[in-house]
Amino acid sequence: MEWETVIGLEIHAQLATRSKIFSGASTAYGADPNTQACNVDLGLPGVLPVLNREAVVMAGRFGLAIGAGVERRSVFARKNYFYPDLPKGYQISQYELPIVGRGQVTIDLEDDGTKVIGVTRAHLEEDAGKSLHEDFHGMSGIDLNRAGTPLLEIVSEPDMRSPKEAIAYMRKIHTLVRYLGICDGNMQEGSFRCDANVSVRPKGQAAFGTRAELKNLNSFRFVERALRFEVERQIDLLEGGGKVLQETRLYDPERGETRPMRGKEEANDYRYFPDPDLLPVEIDDDFVAALETSLPELPDAKRQRFMEQYGLGRYDASLLTANRATADYYEALLAAGGGDPKLAANWVAGDLSGALNRDGIDIAQSPVDAGLLGGLLARIADNTISGKIAKQVFEAMWRGEGDADAIIEARGLKQITDSGAIEKIVDDVIANNPGQVEQFRAGKEKLMGFFVGQVMKATQGKANPKQVNELLRKRLS
Ligand code: ADP
Ligand code: MG
């Protein structure tokens, strides 16, 4: 029997506000436990939540970016459950009336195709605190710094048909929220995490199978591994005559498997009701109009523009627009004399990205900024140096040895374009290698590489490769 996988994701994006969603406490990461939890976050009696306007702005930006718009009226609701990291005994969330309704995003498939994934809704809610198990023997500590941190929960339709598609969707949302400047996307710090719902069904069957929910996956790799494992598990179970239980499961990265955490609760277990402490959020046209004008160019549009304006292929354009900082760098590079857009794209995706990855540096902090790299590419374009020598110069710039011209000068790397000088070396090489010359003339064309190599060696790589080739051909024929 052939099986089809069905996946829907609930992504939690932590909104990049400076203070919490219902209090003035700081959202900065990494503070000592319980130093950033005020009376509201602690759920003390007699205090009232006040909605952070910026969280509404950020959710609205997201709604516009996925074509959903912003709902004119949304309502906060209490989602009731008991857990030690939830001091009020309920989480403030949105239920029947979320701030963002139905929208969509387009993902890229591996075979170069695209697919539209539906977004069911996105709603605002507060995060819970965190239990600390490591430092306390036989007890747990509770850190409420995270309590009240604003989250946007983005719920997808069950539209994905493989773990790969799920990852592509998750990456797309990740790119989008960072473009919008509404989430820093830092997965290690938990700013971007997801619950994955997955089921399988016989291919061709219309009804969905029973799903399992995989909780709190905080890396792309874990999401993919957890989904793969879970799909296999469900298929094995069904083929062995068993049944999939609707339950919440945890992924254990060390063992690479999922295991049951609890039976899946139903919405009515939470006894949702509108929070009487908060007014409905009402949004007018002016508010939406202001949001619309403040939207940046979005990833899909930027990629399309890069393809049209710079003649790049889809692959290069995707790489360069995967985040705003890279796209900005690329355009600054072109403006700084980076010359041919394709050459500039190769340098950003190649040597620059390689060096940034190697040293763990963000492109915005690159020691070789767009101006410096532009200066280097200009020297390739005007034939002062070859592409190969340019790699040396780049490494020297990376180490802070100055700009391209200074390094070329100091190290005497200037390309030899004087054809008289090259001719002389070519003649020497031909004179010194009579055997190879004979073979070449007898038809062993491959030896061209050998001759070029000899000339380059004699000039420490500084001869203009094009001229060397031309002269060698002339002399050898
Ligand atoms: P809950 O209220 O239990 O969280 P929802 O109906 O809100 O359930 O769905 C949560 C997520 O599960 C959504 O992303 C949805 O697309 C996905 N989902 C729903 N049914 C299935 C299914 N049978 N298989 C896979 N994913 C599903
Ligand atoms: Mg849910």
* Mean of all residue pLDDT scores within the chain: 93
Compute the distance between CA of residue 244 and CA of residue 249 in angstroms, rounded to an integer: 12
Nearest CA to ligand 1 atom 7: 155
Residue 321 is predicted with a pLDDT of 96
Q: Is the CB of 198 under 6 A from ligand 1?
A: yes
CA dihedral of 428, 433, 436, 438, whole degrees rounded to 10: 80
Q: Is the CB of 155 under 6 A from ligand 1?
A: yes
CA dihedral of 308, 313, 315, 316, whole degrees rounded to 10: -80
45-61 CB burial, b ≥16 within 10 A, e <16: eeeebebbebbbbbbbb
Instruction: Determine the average pLDDT of the residues in 45-51.
Output: 95
- The CA 211 to ligand 2 mean position distance, Å, reads 12
0.85 cut: is pTM over it? yes
Nearest CA to ligand 1 atom 13: 8
Report residue 305's pLDDT band, with 50, 70 and 90 as the boundaries. Answer: very high
407 close to 450: Cβ distance less than 8 angstroms: no
pLDDT tens figures, 27-47: 999 999 999 999 999 999 999
pLDDT tens figures, 254-284: 888 998 887 766 767 899 999 999 999 999 9
pLDDT at 368 over 90: yes
Report residue 444's pLDDT band, with 50, 70 and 90 as the boundaries. Answer: confident
Number of Cα atoms under 13 Å in the Cβ half of residue 102: 4
Lowest mean pLDDT among 89-103, 142-156, 210-224: 210-224
| Residues belonging to the chain | 477
Compute the distance between CA of residue 76 and CA of residue 128 in angstroms, rounded to an integer: 16
Structural domain spans, the chain: 3-287, 297-411, 419-476
Q: Is the CB of 8 under 6 A from ligand 1?
A: yes
Nearest CA to ligand 1 atom 3: 266
- State the DSSP H helix or E strand holding residue 74, giving kind and residue range, or none if neither: strand 73-74
Integer CA distances (angstroms), 199 to 162, 203, 322, 369, in order: 11, 12, 30, 47
- Amino acid type, 149: T
75 close to 280: Cβ distance less than 8 angstroms: yes
Instruction: Determine the average pLDDT of the residues in 239-243.
Output: 95
Annotation: CATH topology of 419-476: Arc Repressor Mutant, subunit A (1.10.10)
pLDDT at 473 over 90: no
Q: Is the CB of 10 under 6 A from ligand 1?
A: yes
Strands 103-108 and 192-202 come out as unpaired
Compute the distance between CA of residue 327 and CA of residue 302 in angstroms, rounded to an integer: 8
Residue 399 is predicted with a pLDDT of 95
Tokens 């939470």 belong to which residue?
270
Tokens 């590079």 belong to which residue?
333
Compute the distance between CA of residue 159 and CA of residue 265 in angstroms, rounded to an integer: 22
Instruction: Determine the average pLDDT of the residues in 150-177.
Output: 97
Instruction: Kindly state the DSSP code that residue 81 receives in the 8-state scheme.
Output: -
Report residue 476's pLDDT band, with 50, 70 and 90 as the boundaries. Answer: confident
